[in-house]
Amino acid sequence: MNPRAAAHRILGEVRRGALSDRAASRILPAVDAADRGLALDIAFGCLRLRARLDAWIRACADRPPSRMDRAVRDWLRIGVYQLTELRTPDHAAVGETVGAARSALGRRRAGYVNAVLRALTRRRDADPFPDPDADPVGHLCSWGSHPEWLVRRWLARWELADVRRLVEQQNRPPDVVVRMLTGEDPAPPDGVELEPVPGWPRSYRLERGLPETALSHLRAVAQDPAASAVVDYAGDRLAEPVLDVCAAPGTKALGLAAGYGVPVVALDISHRRLARLGAPARRLGLPVSAAVADARRLPVAEAGTVLADVPCTGTGVLRRRADARWRLGQRGLDDLVALQREIVDACAAAVRPGGLLVYSTCSLEREENEGQVDAFLDRRPDYRRDPPGAGARSDCVTPRGDLFVRPWLTGTDGAYAARLRRIA
């Protein structure tokens, strides 16, 4: 399949409700291996930068994107992304895109795509975005390609310069990072090149080669440093049994088992996602077992340690979930906060006196993080905050002892965690 046609199909499936990663996994096998990277880059780039691309389209077309045929609009986004972000030569970006669009749309509609893209090649020095000083919200929503409700939330909490850096970080494609599960330096196989990630021990950026090739030769998992920070923050001397709740795909469970030498039971409601844990656990020879379970109704009488990595908005990992920012809303946030409360209460009931509950998210939102923990401690006076584990990175620990990884400072995903000790 033509890589631009594949990108268009991914955009169409996402528009109809599919998750971007699942749509890509279904469509990319039909693309030549050499072209899959381009197809994925175009599709996910169009999803992340949708509002930025639409600002360019609005400046060059005779109607706003909201009034366009949706298939035509997706082809325009594909072309604009190549012209403005990939810096593809004009003749290739326009010619290849229009040629692929003609096969799908027919000559007349493809002609419209051609006209708008040609107009952009003549107006590329223009600036279609609001002035960042006069209208910072509008600039961060259009150039920054983030929903307004989220931009306003962040600006109410952090300085404008920090929010701009956060938006820039969330718009970059994520690196592939492998986390060594033991202390030795990696010995990658031929064809694989790794570079240490500064400030994050045992984390290495994949510079060359395939992730599956690297992982097949190393005692490692594919894991962003922010997720690794949660494992380090959890600390050692974990009382058994250790449960990882909402565990799929299971890299934190593997990290706990390898780093602290304890058997871990991984629980998740999704059998499909949990099944991905089996192969790496066997390959690494780690004592990790798995069971399907609803975290609100744990099939466990008592546990020494529970890691509750709860479902969340994922606003700390928007670069990794290309379409997620456009699915979020205040109502979804409120629903997730209610679900998190149910899960943390169920997990707290399972921890024996003296045991540890580690609550974590990949969110940046106060309601899901410290607000959720503060409300829990008000309900459960038999719990208190516990100091972080010795491996926690000090500049990511808040004055109250919680972990908070800020993407604009670390260049990673975002993460939050709190250690909650049940009073003996």
Active site residue 46: no
Residue in 3, 7, 45 with CA at minimum distance from that of residue 23: 7
Give backbone dihedrals phi and psi of 89, rounded to 5 degrees, phi first. -50, 145
- Record the tokens describing residue 366, joined without a space: 């106060």
Residue at 119: amino acid letter: A
Length of the chain: 424
> Which of 60, 141, 362, 396 is flagged as catalytic?
362
DSSP per residue, 339-399: HHHHHHHHHHHHEEEEEEEEEEES---GGGTHHHHHHHHHH-TTEEE-PPPTTS-GGGB-T
Rounded CA-CA distance 61/326 in Å is 23
Residue at 372: amino acid letter: Q
Residue at 232: amino acid letter: D
Rounded CA-CA distance 353/172 in Å is 44
Residue in 23, 66, 67 with CA at minimum distance from that of residue 44: 23
Cβ-count burial 127-154 (b if 16+ within 10 Å, e if not): ebbbeeeeebbbbbbbbbbbeeebbebb
Report which secondary-structure segment, H or E, holds 422: strand 415-422
Residues forming the active site: 362
